[in-house]
A and B are shown apart, each in its own frame.
Chain A
């Protein structure tokens, strides 16, 4: 059975972001698997609202960084300013020093600024003028980006995409959800009125529980078969890396935990695969994009 804390969180979130339950679950799974999340979609479909909502529900300290093309790394990390009183430089932490960082429109910034954030994600610390500053724990980044075909974007290179555990798309709401949205009150006000459903301590416990979910040999066989297929079938420009395989397993475990299971099933792997593998796979030809490709991958590999 689903843990009450998780079901409560999902229920609260679904009240605000309407008709997007599976995306909410994926976001939660990503956070429980201790990974960073990339949301890719058009402006205005609720990316920022979702990030805001998660911060609030999980009781995390929240910072938002709006990425622009004239942004510098210091705008993210922080700067050292000379303090006349003490006669020395003092570090002023930038917006990245928060438990949950929303990096909005991350592909609007130049690669230099992007890499400052992505380094922080990888290292859990930042280095400014020779001094190393630890980032808070837990530390999540939810980055949003516009589809790369939009003007004025610097697409993230594969190596940096790989640092995001999942990439999800929100998509337009369906007709009923949109009507409810139009009729209801402001989302911003609703979020402000929310009470956190989890504490930081609860979150840590859940993360530990997720990493303890059982993965049987048969399931590891299945994950390996999937990864193997991406490497040998010739349908993909490059196969999934071992890091991607680990990410797939971690995300599947978190998904199983959200579904209230103590063991991972192939269904869990299949549920998270499009989000985990979609941004890591490139088709060999020009046909089909990431998520659809993941679907064909699922249907090509038999359960062992």
Chain B
């Protein structure tokens, strides 16, 4: 069967929509399947271009069996999200190769729609939505070819765009009012976040400097009113208490039933949107007030969520920058904060003893240690030299080149060796205000580690040795603090201002998408609907509102369509009615058919109507195409309409 005319246009459009639909899937499908799909599409193109025959059904049957076996071998199980999508992708290509009738075409089109939806299984970014929209546009244009309508390419796309535009109001109503559930409907498996970057619950030399190579957003913050200056923006994350000579680990901490300090002093409100990192901890500006819902405050002032953060999480918090915790700190906590592994770093221990004997007072000791850091000509670098067994010794006395984890780790070691309780706090420091939407963006490259020491009558004090060595790190960010030639995420470099401008805009667009589309959870839906004036938006009232609005919209569109019809003259309406009357007998007038031809066709099919139809067609063509005086025209038209009404097929 060679393809000609409309068949060919149909095949071209269907192939195009399958290609546009499957292309974005290529990244998540197994590579062998992507390759096979591409080959099948090329085959189809070849068939269409050269007007060849479609492959035989036997061949396709064998291909179906082969693909199914391969998918089962690849995924082990034939059910589930990924194998399902893979199978459908293969079937879509195969269906295209056997698309002979319009019915096959419909199957291809609807499979395309479903596969476009399936893109959201893999990710839900704004660009995915854009790609999906493009696919839907092309597929809808392909759908028009199935209705044997002779249109040009531009006309098909225009019609498709028009149809999608008509769907927009319905989409908005459903989006805003469809009752939301907390978890994604298709229950993404936990491994979907396997690749998330972020801080971990251990810290070794190099673990944070590796992280700074990622320009990915860690979280975004919107301050309510006052925005703290960069040097005050310490976002507290995992607190490291246990040291084994090389690695710092999160220690044990108790869950607190209430905030352990009396909140006082100036207060900063903010709303934080955390990207999923598949860990329990939340980040908070020091020191946090009451914890958000589904989270608790630990005895080391860390916020811990009740479940790993696997979806983007938004929470509101207050912070008290002037507050200090731990005035009456527990004895066991303080003991644990002085513990050191024996047999490590003898030189540092000796330095600690010297400092201790010179400064019996703990505050003076801290100041003396910081002075030591300042005077010893340390340099702050993203590419520190490797360290051996006595890592703190080697860093403090030999290499003197390091990143924040080196400074924090050796400072805490020094303090503990001198008998002052101390611990490492990891988290993020700084962040950058996006001038486009005013959100503070904190990236992985803002990851930081600092120290906390406990001083009698003062409680836990934040000490950041990095800030002593490289003040620009906390005041202006990483890019200012490290030497020019070192590896940094491209976008952090300030040399290309237009790159930054573009990045700001992209980030702001992504943020809006995250906040309002992906982050439109039950709570935000409730807030939004209340702002719109719905008193108590619940499942029931939302369904009613949704139905009513959709119904009204439908009525509006129907009314508009009727109004368009009403503009036709009564004669034309009667003429159309005649065609509708005869439609059940399969004798509907074709859009291009002239009145006499129509009457003749009807007369041949139903001889009983021949003379009546002939009269009607003659009168109608006389009225519509003849030259007649307006006075006689109206009467003649009325008589004709009567005739049409009296005709009983």
Contacts and interface: CB of A to CB of B under 8 A. Distances in A.
A218 B591 CA distance: 15
A214 B155 contact: no
A301 B594 CA distance: 11
A222 B509 CA distance: 49
A279 B593 CA distance: 23
B155 A287 contact: no
Contact of A265 (B8, B149, B594): B594
Contact of A299 (B592, B594, B626, B627): B592
A296 interface: yes
Nearest to B627: A214
Interface string A230-256: 001111000000000000000000000
Given A216-B626, A232-B152, A234-B155, A303 B594 contact: yes
Contacts of A298: 592
Contacts, number: 68
A235 B145 CA distance: 14
B151 A233 contact: yes
B574 to A, nearest CB: 15
B592 A300 contact: yes
Contacts of B594: 265-267, 270, 303
A161 interface: no
A235 B150 contact: yes
B306 interface: no
Interface in B1-28: 4-5, 8
B625 A235 contact: no
Contact of A263 (B4, B154, B625): B625
B517 interface: no
B592 A233 contact: no
A72 interface: no
Given A265-B595, A267-B594, A216 B627 contact: yes
A233 B155 contact: yes
A262 interface: yes
A219 interface: yes
Interface string B125-164: 0000000000000000000000001111111000000000
Contacts of B4: 287-288
A264 interface: yes
A218 to B, nearest CB: 5
A302 interface: yes
B627 A263 contact: yes
A281 B490 CA distance: 57
Interface in A280-304: 285, 287-288, 296, 298-303
Contacts of B8: 285, 287
B559 interface: no
Interface string B577-612: 000000000000011111111000000000000000
A83 to B, nearest CB: 57
Nearest to A213: B627
Interface string B605-631: 000000000000000011011110000
A12 to B, nearest CB: 26
A300 B597 contact: no
B150 A288 contact: no
A262 B152 contact: no
Contact of B592 (A218, A265, A287, A301): A301
Interface in A189-238: 214-216, 218-219, 232-235
B592 A263 contact: no
Counting chain A CB atoms within 10 Å of each CB, the highest count among B591, B592, B622 belongs to: B592
B152 A302 contact: no
Contacts of B5: 287-288, 296
B625 A300 contact: no
Given A233-B150, A233-B155, A234-B152, A302 B622 contact: no
B472 to A, nearest CB: 61
A234 B154 contact: yes
Contacts of A263: 621-622, 625-627
Nearest to A229: B150
Nearest to A283: B5
Interface residues of A, number: 26
A135 B550 CA distance: 73
Interface in A70-93: none
Interface in A35-50: none
Contact of A262 (B153, B154, B627): B627
A69 B63 CA distance: 60
A241 B150 CA distance: 21
B152 A267 contact: no
A232 B150 contact: no
B627 A264 contact: no
Contacts of A218: 624-625
A232 B593 contact: no
A177 B128 CA distance: 68
Nearest to A263: B626
A72 B155 CA distance: 49
A232 B8 CA distance: 19
A285 B150 CA distance: 14
A267 B155 contact: no
Contacts of B593: 303
Contact of A216 (B151, B152, B591, B624): B624
Counting chain A CB atoms within 10 Å of each CB, the highest count among B4, B625, B626, B627 belongs to: B625
A235 B9 CA distance: 11
A298 B595 CA distance: 14
B627 A265 contact: no
Contact of A219 (B153, B596, B597, B625): B625
Given A233-B155, A287-B8, A267 B597 contact: yes
A262 B150 contact: no
Interface in B231-277: none
B152 A214 contact: no
Contacts of A302: 591-592
B152 A303 contact: no
A303 B591 contact: yes
Contacts of B624: 216, 218
A234 B627 contact: no
A264 B592 contact: no
Contacts of B592: 270, 298-303
A134 B627 CA distance: 38
B148 to A, nearest CB: 9
Contacts of B625: 214-216, 218-219, 263-266
B150 A300 contact: yes
A290 to B, nearest CB: 14
B155 A265 contact: no
B621 A233 contact: no
Contacts of A285: 8
Counting chain B CB atoms within 10 Å of each CB, the highest count among A234, A235, A262, A267 belongs to: A267
A299 B150 contact: yes
Contacts of B622: 263
A287 B9 CA distance: 11
Nearest to A219: B625
Contacts of A233: 150-152, 155
B598 to A, nearest CB: 9
Interface string A142-165: 000000000000000000000000
Nearest to B596: A267
Given A265-B594, A265-B621, 4 more contacts: A234-B155, A298-B592, A303-B592, A303-B594
15 contacts: A214-B626, A216-B624, A218-B624, A218-B625, A233-B150, A233-B152, A234-B152, A262-B627, A263-B622, A265-B594, A265-B595, A266-B595, A267-B594, A267-B596, A303-B594
* The 9 nearest A-B residue pairs measured at CB: A234-B152, A302-B591, A300-B150, A266-B594, A267-B594, A214-B627, A263-B626, A233-B152, A216-B625
